[in-house]
Structure 1
Amino acid sequence: MESTHPPLHARHWPALRFFCLAGLLGLLLGCSSLPTIVPDLDRDAGPPVQLEGTHGPLSAAQSKAILDRLSSSGQTTDIFARHLALEEAIVGSPLTTDNRVLLLQNGPATYQAMFAAITAAQDHINIETYLLDDDEIGQRFAQALIDKQRQGVQVNLIRDSVGTLNTPTAFFKRMADSGIKVLEFNPVNPLVSRKVWALNQRDHRKLLIVDGRIAFLGGINISGVYSGSSLTRAAHPRIDGTTPAWRDTDLQLQGPVVAELQKLFLAAWENQKGEPLAAKNYFPPPEHAGRQVVRAIGSSPDEPYSLIYATLLSAIGSAETSVHLTNAYFAPDPQLLAALKAAARRGVEVTLILPSQTDSWLIFHTGHGYYEQLLRTGVKIYERRGVILHSKTALIDGVWATVGSTNLDWRSFLHNHELNAVVLGAEFGSQLQVMFDNDIAESDAITLEHWLHRPLNQHLKETFARIWEYWL
């Protein structure tokens, strides 16, 4: 098994050293732990869910009619009756209707759509990212943004300090010299920090907003590792001769939900004490773009608990038929583990697609340590072949779907700023299901019998990795 799992890429070693340092500091200062995340799921859901459209909040009757339509078009599920009001109470952001959602399933398709939107920009471009590499893809993005800035389109960029640790200062200086506003999120260097130094809080969001009308979010960073397509058997090119293509998922969004994403970006800028932004039309009148119902959810370590995690746990707890999760980094805390096992025990089909190879040796083997107990309760586990799986998606009962940046690990739930979109209804759910089925076809099933006979060195790796679980 050792030869099938590539080592960490060289560009990840500085970040690994950083998190090891953070881990040692945490051991000295004391570790926080995940609180009981989800409010009482047995309480009354409260007032009916109210949707927001292009002209503001819909009436209770209009909202009910839309939710009834979504419910009737899918499987028998408790999601709409039980979960949505609680989700709204947890998250606070509205369910918006009149949206268009396009599913983007690999790097080339996502980058092509992003470059088209950037080229067409007329007013402003807001971009928030964890990684922005100084490679061919990063240079293309930088030049496209510089070109728009010179045309009078204001570009505002939030880049995570750790994620861009290996990107030369000159790369960002060139952008700043063109007039682009570049904000370093939680600088590693405490001498340049603009607020309380938060070494372990990272910005893991991936967000691009153009003119306040079109947005992209998901798991894709700006890096050449996404240059290869991962959709077919024939399209598994090796990027550098050793590393396979990365498999990721993003969304292109238009409609009222874009304003909610814009609020999250501007709040992040303000929270990081960035310099005042140029006056631009950040909130144009919303337009009717489609029929999709979408909620934007941003999570922050400054909140009592991860809003994305809370709503995911609630959705899994409300599932009646199926829970289909695809995730790059899997190290569940006791609550998520209990929710998955409880769903399987009550007859819900729980299926996980996880990586067969990874860029993170520690998180990979940490996740393996949970396989046996999940398999014993009836959870199905598959490992995706031929690619570096980086997707973060969930589909529950075929009608509640989420795509975003959130991994199923402690770092995402406790330490990272993350961003997801929840999309309701069988129309989008069926698209995500097709993608899920295609990934299953390219995956290997992990059976309990096979897993119990794994080599001793595998057990040792899992034990060692679990020591670092909290900090991965």
Structure 2
Amino acid sequence: MIAGLMTSYFGTISWATLYLLSEWAIRLAMLVVVPFRRSPEAAKGWLLFFFFLPWPALLVYFLIGRPGYPKWRQERFARLPVVFKAATDRIKEVTAKEQPDLPANLSQAAVLIQNLGRFPSLGGNGADLLSDYDGTIGRIVEDIDRARSHVHLLFYIFADDETGHAVVAALTRAVGRGVTCRVLIDALGSRAWSANVVEALKAGGVSVRLVLPVGLLRRKSARADLRNHRKIAVIDGEVGYVGSQNIVNSDFNPRVTNQELVVRVTGPAVLELQAVFVADWFLETEEVLDSPALFPEPRPGGRIVAQVLPSGPDYPEAGVERLVEALVHGARRRVVITTPYFIPNEALLHALQTAVLRGVEVHLVLSRPVDQVLVNLAQRSYYAELLDAGIEIHLYRDKLLHAKHLSIDHGVSLIGSSNIDMRSFILNSEVSLVLFDRDLNARLREEQERYFAASDRLVRSEWAKRRLSKKIVENIARLMSPLL
């Protein structure tokens, strides 16, 4: 009996020792693996995770640890320049006369955008800023009802609600007139509604695909954390929409009501939005959309110079964060950044702090109502050092300010789907429209002034008075920010 107890005791010790050794083996191995092709901030977050919870961290790492798409998708993306040569040649042909003459301080930004996302800056565009939520959906429906050739929609969320029903009805009417309608919906972003929406769209004759579907038994399943977060509408290759708003009721989240900003653009820049859509369509279906009707001769829309920047894991060198950092470094007078989620990398944080030291007025417009608690806690951990640097923080009071845009001085505006956080910078497929125009910038500044008036301005002395427990929780969340 004693011998049996001793065997059991030493066996227990042996298993405990093996588990302890396995934890240290994981820690040491990941100390080598994690830093490869990762920013110091992201590596730090993962290594802390591995230090405290080695086995759970290893499981999560295998699921979402590498910010890259599956091999099959990478191979499709590599084929894009060949399969879309006819389409890209067509874009070059019909937009050759639209090349703008930008001043030196803006031409460098345009060159950067082209090198990152492959699209040139184009003149002759018109743009309207749309901030009325239901009014924006109404404009999209009106343009769909005027469509003659085709309608292309790509949205992260397409809901089975009043807003979604209005768009589905418009698409169904368009199909009835002989218009070709194609819709891409992110599989995870729309998971609560996708079955009903897809069924309704197919019943109306619309070609629809779920983007990056996830499933353990799927042959070509995508990772749950790599999402297509873009919001694009293109009608007849002549009218385009891009911005922060999804096809869903503004109060779909019972805790908050969304405030958005969308730009409706006409002119040659619409063809660049079209190219982003047809590339995503090919990545999901392998169907090549290169008909000349998709890339018509641009009608003069105005005098705005505009440029589209797609970004995401498909573009290893094309993070929108590079553009944001460069624009902040190039600012001479004023920077205003509006975003619902603000978790900057070190480079952007330093760029903002340095801008103030150079005499630039820097404003952050964030949302007081929140829908992502952990992200908001991490975001709040940056407020003290931002305020110490002289950056003004405005917390929008009444709604979730989901708009995503920035203005630089008096001539550069960026409006799109990208937040200022690691997810948008590294994991999500995003799209941004950059507009080089003083009048458009002035209109965006008017919108920003309305935000200021509806916001509470953070005061450093008041912010410092919050409880120590809150500071601790915020800083713990900050350690996790590279994983958010």
* Selected match of 2:227 from 202, 217, 220: 202
CA deviation vs aligned residue, 1:45-73 (integer Å, no higher than 9, x gap): xxxxxxx99953349xx843xx25xxxxx
Kept in 1, the 8 Å contact 2:187–2:194? The answer is no
C-alpha change, 1:452 and 1:401, in structure 2 (3 Å) is same
Residues 11-30 of structure 1: matches in 2 within 5 Å? 25-27=59-61
CA deviation vs aligned residue, 1:25-48 (integer Å, no higher than 9, x gap): 4445784589xxxxxxxxxxxxxx
Is the counterpart of residue 57 in structure 1 residue 96 in structure 2?
yes
Q: Which amino acid aligns with 1:395?
A: S
TM-score, with normalisation over the residues of structure 2? Answer: 0.78
Q: 1:132: how far off?
A: 1.1
The equivalent of 2:444 in structure 1 is: 432
Identify unmatched segments of 5+ residues in structure 1.
1-21, 35-51, 69-77, 227-238
Residues 319-468 of structure 1: matches in 2 within 5 Å? 319-468=331-480
Q: 1:304: how far off?
A: 1.7
The equivalent of 1:273 in structure 2 is: 285
Q: Highest relative contact order (Cα 8 Å, sep 6+), 1 or 2? A: 1
Residues 189-228 of structure 1: matches in 2 within 5 Å? 189-192=215-218, 194=220, 197-225=222-250
More helix by share: 2
The equivalent of 2:262 in structure 1 is: 250
The equivalent of 1:75 in structure 2 is: none
Identify unmatched segments of 5+ residues in structure 2.
1-55, 69-90
SS of the residue 1:203 aligns to:
coil
C-alpha distance in 2 between matches for 1:82 and 1:275: 35
C-alpha distance in 2 between matches for 1:397 and 1:23: 44
**Identity across the alignment (%):** 28
Kept in 1, the 8 Å contact 2:113–2:309? The answer is no
The equivalent of 1:38 in structure 2 is: none
Q: Which amino acid aligns with 1:310?
A: R
Kept in 1, the 8 Å contact 2:234–2:274? The answer is yes
C-alpha distance in 2 between matches for 1:63 and 1:170: 45
State the aligned residue count: 407
Q: 1:339: how far off?
A: 1.2
Please tell me whether Structure 1 or Structure 2 has the larger radius of gyration of its CA atoms. Answer: 2
C-alpha distance in 2 between matches for 1:168 and 1:296: 28
C-alpha change, 1:193 and 1:410, in structure 2 (3 Å) is farther
Query: RMSD across aligned C-alpha pairs, in angstroms?
Result: 2.6
The equivalent of 2:51 in structure 1 is: none
* Selected match of 2:167 from 137, 141, 148: 141
Kept in 2, the 8 Å contact 1:53–1:96? The answer is no
Is the counterpart of residue 115 in structure 1 residue 154 in structure 2?
no
C-alpha distance in 2 between matches for 1:224 and 1:418: 21
* Selected match of 1:318 from 305, 312, 330: 330
CA deviation vs aligned residue, 1:298-317 (integer Å, no higher than 9, x gap): 11212223442211111111
* Selected match of 1:292 from 301, 304, 324: 304
C-alpha distance in 2 between matches for 1:420 and 1:139: 27
C-alpha change, 1:288 and 1:190, in structure 2 (3 Å) is farther
C-alpha distance in 2 between matches for 1:439 and 1:365: 22
Q: Which amino acid aligns with 1:388?
A: L
SS of the residue 1:146 aligns to:
helix
C-alpha distance in 1 between matches for 2:373 and 2:219: 31
SS of the residue 2:250 aligns to:
helix
CA deviation vs aligned residue, 1:150-182 (integer Å, no higher than 9, x gap): 322111111001111111513312312332111
Q: 1:148: how far off?
A: 1.5
Report the more deviating stretch, 371-380 or 184-193: 184-193
C-alpha distance in 1 between matches for 2:213 and 2:480: 23
Kept in 2, the 8 Å contact 1:305–1:413? The answer is no
